[in-house]
């Protein structure tokens, strides 16, 4: 009997109901390998998310200090978007302040503007939440730092009885003669018993609000009623607070002989000491790239110092009749909304005074290409080239 050959023109599909037997051990190894690969991918994703979180939180620490104290970041972004969509529309003073804030935000976090355009809505919200976490954390750290230091400084300056306790705020504010003198509005004299009594009794004749400049904002803590701009923003306490936040608490006491009329040799000695200490711990100013004092950093410091002098125990926007948000706005507007060029010249001089007080007399950051082009090395290079060109043309 003959066996017919399979029809090659019509091949049969393989039988998939059966399998090629493998060992259970080999199958288990492959399953484990696949699971390990999945776990490794999850670990990498988590590591990437953690790195992003750490980066955003650390970058956010500059926001309260340099850009805005209370206003949500979203409000700055929304105002910039509004102006992009409505270029011909007008704006209020508050909207102008928001836009200046967005421009300042883009300077402090130069990557943010482009990142907002790349991320989807959910990713953008997550990033902003982490930036806010860092911003609030830094604000809380600075509040704790100045709570202790301001008590030490006030005790050293006024020797009150009893001394201000660093761990207790209930005996600060207008209850304390020393703190009350510094918090007293510039238009009143704290040494006047009627003023002290009126403020402490919170009478309508002595309302403490953000509409008055506190005495601690002035040089020697005294204002000239006929020229209230004179000495404003130049107090020792304010500079000490700024240095404690942005450079180092250990350097905050070194304010007396820096800046205007400082002894050059002494200034150099202090600069070397700062350099040596900077090798041990990098200061906030270096981390965030601050080389000059800015108006919003001064406003932030003033709010922190005012809070440290007060008797309220937890950070808030309003203390009685005093609104910290509006106080911050007043300081920012003083610098950023000058009434004219003459006032702007005075403000530029004030900011230069601040920068010298905090960072010394080095000005390398001011060596712009235009300035460098006028210096002798570059001028000589241009002159030599001109001489070469003249010889070539004569031939």
Segments in the chain forming alpha helices (H): 24-60, 63-66, 73-85, 93-108, 112-118, 121-158, 177-183, 193-201, 236-246, 264-280, 284-287, 295-309, 324-336, 341-359, 369-373, 376-394
CB 174 within 8 A of CB 94: no
Q: Give the lowest-confidence range in 62-71, 345-354, 377-386.
A: 377-386
User: pLDDT: is 370 or 175 the higher one?
Assistant: 175
pLDDT digits (tens, 9 = 90+) for 220-248: 999 999 999 999 999 999 999 999 999 88
Question: For residue 93, which of 295, 347, 332 has the smallest C-alpha distance?
Answer: 332
Radius of gyration, CA atoms only, the chain: 32
d(CA 293, CA 177): 31
CB 256 within 8 A of CB 272: no
Sign of the CA dihedral 143, 147, 148, 150?
Answer: positive
d(CA 11, CA 281): 78
Share of the chain above pLDDT 90, in %: 60
Cis (ω within 30 of 0) for the bond into 162? Answer: yes
CB 74 within 8 A of CB 128: yes
pLDDT digits (tens, 9 = 90+) for 125-167: 999 999 999 999 999 999 999 999 999 999 999 999 889 999 8
CB 309 within 8 A of CB 216: yes
What pLDDT, on a 0 to 100 scale, did the predictor assign at position 352? Answer: 94
pLDDT digits (tens, 9 = 90+) for 77-126: 999 999 988 877 788 989 999 999 999 999 999 999 999 989 999 999 99
> What pTM value is reported for the model?
0.78
- What pairs with residue 319 in β-bridges? 322
Query: Which residue reads 């209020």 in tokens?
Result: 92
HSE on the CB side for 371, CA within 13 Å? Answer: 6
For the chain, give the mean pLDDT.
86
Total residues found in the chain within this entry: 395
What pLDDT, on a 0 to 100 scale, did the predictor assign at position 351? Answer: 96
HSE on the CB side for 132, CA within 13 Å? Answer: 12
pLDDT digits (tens, 9 = 90+) for 2-29: 555 555 566 666 665 666 677 888 778 8
What pLDDT, on a 0 to 100 scale, did the predictor assign at position 196? Answer: 96
d(CA 51, CA 58): 11
What pLDDT, on a 0 to 100 scale, did the predictor assign at position 333? Answer: 95
């Amino acid at each position: 009997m003959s066996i017919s050959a399979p029809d090659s023109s019509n091949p049969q599909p393989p039988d998939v109901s059966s399998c090629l037997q493998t060992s259970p051990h080999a199958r288990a190894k492959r399953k484990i390998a696949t699971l390990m690969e999945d776990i490794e991918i999850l670990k990498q994703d988590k590591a990437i998310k953690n790195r992003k979180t750490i980066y955003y939180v650390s970058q956010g620490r500059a926001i309260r200090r340099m850009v805005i104290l209370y206003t949500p970041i979203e409000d700055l972004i929304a105002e910039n978007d509004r102006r992009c969509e409505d270029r011909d529309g007008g704006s209020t003073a508050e909207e102008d302040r928001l836009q200046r804030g967005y421009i300042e935000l883009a300077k402090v976090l130069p990557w943010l503007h482009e990142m907002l355009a790349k991320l989807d809505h959910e990713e953008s919200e997550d990033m902003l939440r982490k930036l806010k976490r860092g911003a609030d954390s830094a604000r809380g750290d600075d509040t704790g730092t100045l709570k202790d230091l301001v008590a030490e400084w006030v005790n050293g300056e006024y020797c009150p009885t009893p001394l201000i306790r660093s761990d207790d705020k209930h005996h600060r504010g207008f209850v304390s003669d020393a703190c009350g003198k510094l918090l007293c509005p510039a238009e009143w004299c704290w040494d006047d018993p009627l003023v002290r009594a009126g403020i402490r009794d919170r009478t309508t004749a002595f309302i403490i609000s953000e509409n008055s400049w506190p005495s601690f904002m002035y040089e020697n803590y005294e204002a000239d009623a006929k020229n209230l701009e004179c000495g404003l923003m130049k107090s020792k306490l304010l500079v000490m607070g700024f240095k404690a936040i942005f450079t180092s608490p250990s350097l905050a006491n070194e304010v007396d002989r820096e800046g205007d009329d400082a002894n050059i040799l002494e200034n150099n000695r202090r600069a070397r000491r700062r350099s040596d200490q900077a090798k041990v711990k990098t200061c906030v100013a270096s981390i965030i790239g601050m080389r000059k004092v800015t108006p919003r950093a001064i406003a932030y410091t003033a709010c922190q110092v005012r809070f440290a002098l007060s008797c309220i125990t937890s950070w808030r926007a309003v203390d009685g009749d005093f609104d910290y948000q509006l106080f911050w706005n007043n300081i920012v507007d003083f610098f950023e909304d000058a009434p004219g060029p003459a006032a702007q010249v005075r403000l530029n001089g004030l900011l230069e005074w601040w920068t010298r007080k905090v960072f010394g007399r080095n000005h390398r950051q001011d060596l712009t290409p235009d300035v460098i082009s006028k210096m002798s090395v570059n001028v000589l290079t241009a002159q030599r080239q001109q001489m070469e060109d003249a010889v070539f043309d004569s031939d």
